[in-house]
Structure 1
């Protein structure tokens, strides 16, 4: 990564190093071995050396394809255990803000924003392209932080809506999705993806997003 010297800070810049401090050796993620910053001509260059993971990712795209398979019980158990651990870790980093929800939910879903009353620490970007198919390893930790309870499970669910068998297994593994906090988390994630769709991302997912939003109201 690189950034002007006065901007080489903040959530994404520090994310992998903060995640390594809290989670390396505790959850299934690539270990961060070293990080080096170099200043040159007013810019800061950050290099990170991470563990090589010799496993395929679940999907080349964050949006899971309709013909995706369902992984074995061991895979789901490992993922659930890792997310349960992450949720309990204390951090001052923020992945989702109520203020953003207040502005964005009415704009993209045409409904009042829900109040987020229950929070936990989340990976923050848990979609099929950030999970490996074997163990699973959880990849790309730059954005972790506080989020609505059930946020990670909701994100995995919403990115997997085109694969009904996979979404059913997500719901079975993460019963929080059937609770009120889980409903709120799904509304937040659907809003995020509708915002992305407004910029041209993942058009194939829009009908499923709209259908889920209707079910959640």
Structure 2
């Protein structure tokens, strides 16, 4: 009988000491980090190296890996047509005492800074064309991976539960089409002015339209930007599956635990009324 997975202790790498972690990765990859370039997030930390590369270190609990695998960077490296940083190699290790897995991936540096949504309306037509081409190529790909938006595997049951808990009038939540998705398409994971899509740890099969819905949902604080995303990804977002994905995203914004200070809330409420009505009308 397989022993149950232990539960990892919550860790926030924005405040957790990381010197020992960085030193371990330096020894493993035989690089030196420029600590002045370090970017720290809740479960990742990254920095430029003396090889003029970028190393990203990620922490993930054991129970967030089961079924998904731990090879996102290697698999994403095969998506050669999509504009993403070239991957050079990495190292993986487990920490059984803390019930977590670590991996460090070395890749080429990003071609620009992550896009600030406040300036995204100034992105060029070439940028949007590159985004559209990359998402279209990705959706036509094939993978055995399953997407894990917010580190949780996306399933029909999860979609149904999330939507009907907030929008009980939507009776049919069946997803018709599944396709590969990045599954974390936020403005923080694309660069400008030259387009590049990075941080592929959650990618895999997902309901068609999930990526478009994620970028649209992360634009709701700026109505003009949300409208721009709808125009660019019209085919995805106006499909039945795309509308369900938009509700899936918004269920966390307008649900019973809605944050009244969330700048996306007002437009999310208006948009979900439209989406529910359209889905009910068939």
Which residue of the partner structure matches residue 72 of structure 2?
Answer: 15
TM-score (norm. length: structure 1): 0.82
Where in structure 2 are there 5+ consecutive unaligned residues? 1-57, 148-153, 277-282
Which residue of the partner structure matches residue 213 of structure 1?
Answer: 272
For the 8 Å contact 1:155–1:189, the answer to whether it is kept is yes
Which residue of the partner structure matches residue 197 of structure 2?
Answer: 138
Asked which structure has the greater RCO (Cα within 8 Å, sep 6+), the reply is 1
For 1:131 and 1:192, the matched residues in 2 are separated by 23
Does the C-alpha gap of structure 1 residues 181 and 46 become closer, same or farther in structure 2, counting only changes over 3 Å? closer
Report which of the two structures shows the higher radius of gyration computed on alpha carbons.
2
Does the C-alpha gap of structure 1 residues 155 and 170 become closer, same or farther in structure 2, counting only changes over 3 Å? same
Where in structure 1 are there 5+ consecutive unaligned residues? none
What does 1:183-202 align with in structure 2 at a 5 Å threshold?
Answer: 183-194=243-254, 198=257
For 1:98 and 1:168, the matched residues in 2 are separated by 28
Does the C-alpha gap of structure 1 residues 140 and 198 become closer, same or farther in structure 2, counting only changes over 3 Å? farther
For 1:12 and 1:192, the matched residues in 2 are separated by 26
TM-score (norm. length: structure 2): 0.65
Bigger helix share:
1
Which residue of the partner structure matches residue 102 of structure 1?
Answer: 160
What does 1:37-56 align with in structure 2 at a 5 Å threshold?
Answer: 37-38=92-93, 45-56=102-113
- Per the TM alignment, residue 106 of structure 1 is displaced from its structure 2 partner at its CA by 1.7
- Per the TM alignment, residue 75 of structure 1 is displaced from its structure 2 partner at its CA by 0.5
Which residue of the partner structure matches residue 123 of structure 2?
Answer: 71
Q: Give the length in aligned residue pairs.
A: 209
Does the C-alpha gap of structure 1 residues 208 and 12 become closer, same or farther in structure 2, counting only changes over 3 Å? farther
